[in-house]
Amino acid sequence: MTNKEATARIKINKLLEVAGWRFFADGKSPANIQLEPSITIKTQDLDALGENFEKSSKGFIDFLLLNDKGFPFIVLEAKSEDKSPLVGKEQARKYARSQNCRFIILSNGNLHYFWDLARGNPYLITSFPTPTSVMGYQKTVPDPRRLVEEAVGDDYLVLTQRPGYAAEAAWKNEAERPGFIGANSLRFLRPYQIKAIVALQSAIRSGKDRFLFEMATGTGKTLTAAAVIKLFLRTGNARRVLFLVDRLELEDQAKKAFSKVLGNDYQTVIYKENRDDWRRAEIVVTTVQSLLFNNKYQQLFSPTDFDLVISDEAHRSIGGNARAVFDYFIGYKLGLTATPRDYLKKFEKTKPSTRDPREFERRLLLDTYRTFGCDDGQPTYRYSLLDGVKDGFLINPTVVDARSEITTQLLSEDGFVVDFKDDQGEDQKETFKQREFEKRFFSDATNQLFCKTFLEHAHRDPISGEIGKSILFAVSQNHAAKLAQILNLMADKMFPGKYQSDFAVQVTSQITDAQQFTINFTNQ
């Protein structure tokens, strides 16, 4: 055995122990790893006359992992550090078939792949799955045919919420029409939401396991996701689903939405509130940040714990450290977003804008479409703002043009040019571009103008004259604080004595109880 082979074996041994596999019996728990057991491999071949016959040969499995009953469970094929683990694919496949094993791990100590022979291709993993996790994962036998053939109508979620509810009963009045949310708390799928599910089924039929829904804000991405979750759980193609969000308020909203429409059949929990018993639920909701903290996703979860991972605001879940969480879990992946990022659009690989040879790979990792299996730059399903307006589900925004001389120049091709003298008294010029606005260049006059324009054009209550609920987006937390202060000062003059500096409230991560403020805003 070479040094590289020995080093790989040492690393693999450690990874197995960390994942809970045992080389030796531990109390009442027997060993569940066999080292290099000799096995007989039977293969079909052709003789010189072209007739089929069975050949037998001997082989040695590097590591044979056993289930809780002591039967062969996972074949682990080890390679030296200087070889790709994938070179052992076919050898491991023969070993797995001879032992009636569904699962294979391919590893060189540094790179590892988990291969479910019932699903397709090896999947890159960063840690080995635990025995318990794979045993649970084994209970889900993928059947894409059932996913594709499942009928999804506008009452798909209603039937879940009301067992025994007859589809032919339909809605008896306007309050129960598709898309209406009323006193009965029914959730009928709208036509475009059904089309999204059908598009996903079509993608599954063509062999895909990653999908992207590009849907405008306000078109019900969470409700559509609930229908997808039910589709996978009901057809037996998922045992447990992970729903990833990037903000605390979205975590709570998703949990409430899923509990409302799926609660009769499936349980939803928020991970941070159920750290010790999240496994009891079919749907686990969490922020990406919760799993990233102290690498919890690696320490407390196994790659095989979830069969379907849904990423809300998907364009933000694939950048930086967040991508590690997204890639960690094996299974189907669905991205939801209103604003996907096409980092390969107009990018010429042969003529990159930088000399960095990694530029293409960097853009590829950040590109929302390619990450979710849409290599042609088209999402699995798209429902735009214009579609929503045309169908009567959304209202086209009214654009108010508010400009100052500074902002006009900042947005121009030349930018805003400042003339000044340096410490030596020499004339100098500095140019500010759009991306630097409010991050480097602060203009009180511009912020005053924006706030004044907003208040003059905002919708008002026809009786009280109060400004309607509104959301203003700032470029930084300091900018948000500045805008809130200006708006509160202006509101004091417009509505004397009505507000106690709470006309405008800053809701950012620096603010205590920011999540409660968003809840209050929603419920007002």
pLDDT tens figures, 9-58: 999 999 999 999 999 998 888 999 999 888 776 655 434 444 554 566 67
Give dist(CA 490, CA 508) in Å, integer. 21
Q: Look up the CATH architecture of domain 3-137.
A: Alpha-Beta Complex (3.90)
Packed helices 477-494 and 444-457: angle between N→C axes, nearest 10 degrees = 50
The pLDDT of residue 152: 95
C-alpha distances out from residue 169 to 151, 164, 176, 227, 400, Å: 18, 11, 11, 20, 46
Lowest mean pLDDT of 300-309, 379-388, 405-414, 457-466, name the range. Answer: 405-414
| φ, ψ dihedrals at 223, nearest 5° | -65, -40
pLDDT digit string, tens, across residues 392-446:
999 888 887 766 666 677 667 777 776 666 677 777 777 766 666 555 556 677 7
Q: How many other C-beta atoms can be found within 10 angstroms of the C-beta atom of residue 459? A: 11
Which distant-in-sequence residues (6+ apart) come within 8 Å of 131 by Cβ?
A: 19, 20, 21, 32, 65, 67, 68, 73
- Dist CA 338 CA 220 (whole Å): 11
> DSSP states of 257-314 as a string?
HHHHHHTTT--EEEGGG-TTTGGG-SEEEEEHHHHHGGGHHHHT--TTS-SEEEETTG
Domain 144-390 has CATH 3.40.50.300: yes
Average pLDDT over residues 108-115: 95
- Per the model's pLDDT, the better-predicted residue between 514 and 188 turns out to be 188
Span of 457-471, 476-490, 509-523 with lowest mean pLDDT: 509-523
Q: Which residue has the tokens 């018993």?
A: 277
**Model pTM?**
0.76
Per-residue pLDDT for 272 more than 80? yes
**DSSP letter assigned to residue 409:** H
Residue pair 187/181 in contact (Cβ under 8 Å)? The answer is yes
* Strand, helix or coil for residue 168: helix
DSSP code at position 499: -
CB 69 within 8 Å of CB 41: no
* Radius of gyration of the chain measured on its C-alpha atoms: 29
233 Cβ contact list (under 8 Å, min separation 6):
239, 241, 265, 266, 282
Residues 127-173: tens digit of each pLDDT? 999 999 999 999 888 889 999 999 999 999 886 444 433 333 333 34
Which tens digits make up the pLDDT trace of 323-382? 788 889 988 999 998 876 654 455 455 555 555 554 544 444 456 777 777 777 788 999
The closest of 5, 11, 12 to 79, measured between CA atoms, is 5
Give the chain's count of helices (H) and strands (E).
18, 17
Percentage of residues in the chain having pLDDT higher than 70: 79
Provide the pLDDT for residue 318. Answer: 65
> What is the residue extent of each domain of the chain?
3-137, 144-390, 405-523
Chain center to CA of 165: 33
Percent of the chain with pLDDT over 90: 46
How confident is residue 81, by pLDDT bands cut at 50, 70 and 90?
very high
Q: What's the mean per-residue pLDDT of the chain?
A: 82
Angle 390-256-484 (CA atoms, 0-180°, nearest 5)? 70
CB atoms within 10 A of CB 248: 17
Measured N-to-C along each axis, helices 514-523 and 248-262 cross at an angle, to the nearest 10 degrees, of: 50
Structure tokens at 149: 């053939």
| Residue 361: per-residue pLDDT | 47
Stretch among 426-440, 457-471, 506-520 having the lowest mean pLDDT:
426-440
**Cα(420)–Cα(408) distance, rounded to whole angstroms?**
20
E-only strand ranges, 171-288 = 210-215, 241-245, 268-270, 283-287
Q: How far, in whole angstroms, is CA 208 from its chain's centroid?
A: 16
Angstrom distance (rounded) from CA 50 to CA 237 = 41
The pLDDT of residue 481: 92
